[in-house]
Amino acid sequence: VACGGGPAGGPGAAATEAPAAESPVTEDSDEVQLAPELSVYNWADYIDEQVLADYEERYGVRIIYDTFASNEDLLTKLQAGASGYDVIFPSDYMVVQMIELGLLAEIDVDSMPNFANINEAFKNPPYDPGNAHCTPYQWGMTGISYRRGNPAFADSPPDSWAYLFDPAVMEKYAAEGINVLNDQRELMAAALFYLGYSPNSTDRAELEAARDLILQAKPSWKTFNSEDYYSTLMESDEIVLSHAWSGDAAQAFWNTYDEAEGTGNWLFSVPKEGAVRFADNACIPANSKRQETARHFINYLMEPEVAAAITNFTFYPSPNEAAKEFIDPEILNNPGIYPPPEVAAKLEWLVDVGDAIFIYDEMWTAIKGQ
């Protein structure tokens, strides 16, 4: 697996080769003439590299693998004209934006036998009717991860977004380090939840209030990081609390697990005001020159053992029903990974906000600029 080089045409592309064309394909995916290479662009730490190596070995396709930190980074890369990516993993609301911009190819799930393995609840999502462009990859929730044993959290877990936004609450631990996700929709959603507004608000006054809340809290935060915060900041004790995606927090839990104590150092909480539920999806950019190979790879990702291997590595729930029997029971029964009904009831999807995205962009520029 070749990691990190970036595809031809994108930043960091100098070392890559020109995309190799596919040979003609047949209807039967077993008879697809696969391209010699496939460029896969995913979130950080979001796949078991063995899954990539197995595909390379089984099918003789070399995978060029690179990662991004947010949906907006992915969109910017595609809009800048990056060509060469063959499989990408945008979230729900970003799928809508990308479809509207004509950035995604159609995938034809009828030609993917493993699509039958997907749980019905994850098929035909509102953001991609009929799964015309994408298949669901993994899902999760966004909350707060905090360091077990810190006196500031002794009496109760951080069960409110106040732990990120209220100076009186934060003063007990801010000096020890707070990280927030470097993700415009996610950070705005956390502020909007705390203020009692919809995480999908399109109201300028509400969005300005969220921006102002973020700006007054920002001096208390140490870092904006959504890419490797769990390994570089949490597991190494550079911080004591982080805005976090559930699987990343679970990785930090297991990577700091102490056998004698029977627990890890990092725990996860879903704030009482509400939190984001997301689904990331395997899709093909419209300008991919290896679309049949990309479809073949996406079908491979939906094999039960493959989907289970991914969840067993990333600690994010799988939408793949047939994978369940291969997923570690400790993961399946972990409420921080598969939320119980009372937690699920607090979760909301981010949806496309239409033209209000320009207000979000304006707020984000102010947030990152000051």
Binding footprint of ligand SPD on the chain (CB under 6 A): 43-46, 91, 186, 245, 248, 278, 280
Instruction: Decide the pairing of beta strands 266-269 and 87-88.
Output: unpaired
First to last CA, the chain: 40
47, 135, 309 from 52: Cα distances, Å: 8, 18, 11
Q: Can you read off the two tokens belonging to residue 76?
A: 């910017």
* Nearest-angstrom CA–CA distance, 290 and 37: 8
Query: What is the smallest separation between the CB atom of 17 and ligand SPD, expressed in angstroms?
Result: 27
Report helix, strand or coil for 43.
strand
Q: Which is nearer to ligand SPD, 35 or 63 (CB)?
A: 63
Shortest Å, Cβ 304 to ligand SPD = 22
CA 72-85-308 angle, to 5 degrees, is: 85
Listed in sequence order, the residues at least 6 apart from 338 whose beta carbon sits closer than 8 Å to its beta carbon are 317, 331, 332
Closest CB to ligand SPD among residues 173, 360: 360
Q: How far apart are CA 222 and CA 305, in angstroms?
A: 40
* Residue number with CB closer to ligand SPD (44 or 286): 44
Whether the CB-CB separation of 242 and 178 falls below 8 Å is answered with yes
Least Å distance, CB 279 to ligand SPD, is: 8
What is the token pair recorded at 219? 């001096």
For residue 63, the minimal CB distance to ligand SPD (Å) is 18
Q: Residue 182 Cβ, how far from ligand SPD at the closest point, in Å? A: 12
The per-residue b/e assignment along 235-248, b for 16 or more CB within 10 angstroms, e otherwise, is beebbbbbbbbbbb
Looking at residue 317, what DSSP letter applies? P
User: Smallest distance, Å, CB 86 to ligand SPD?
Assistant: 19
> Which CB atom, from 221 or from 245, has the smaller least distance to ligand SPD?
245
Task: Write out the two tokens for 253.
Answer: 């839990």
CB of 138 to ligand SPD, least distance (A): 8
Report the nearest approach of ligand SPD to the CB of residue 225 (Å).
11
122 vs 153 by CB, closer to ligand SPD: 122
Q: Would you say 55 or 137 has its CB closer to ligand SPD?
A: 137
In whole angstroms, how far apart are CA 194 and each of 12, 130, 157, 251?
Answer: 39, 34, 17, 26
Evaluate whether 144 touches 244 at the Cβ level (below 8 Å): yes
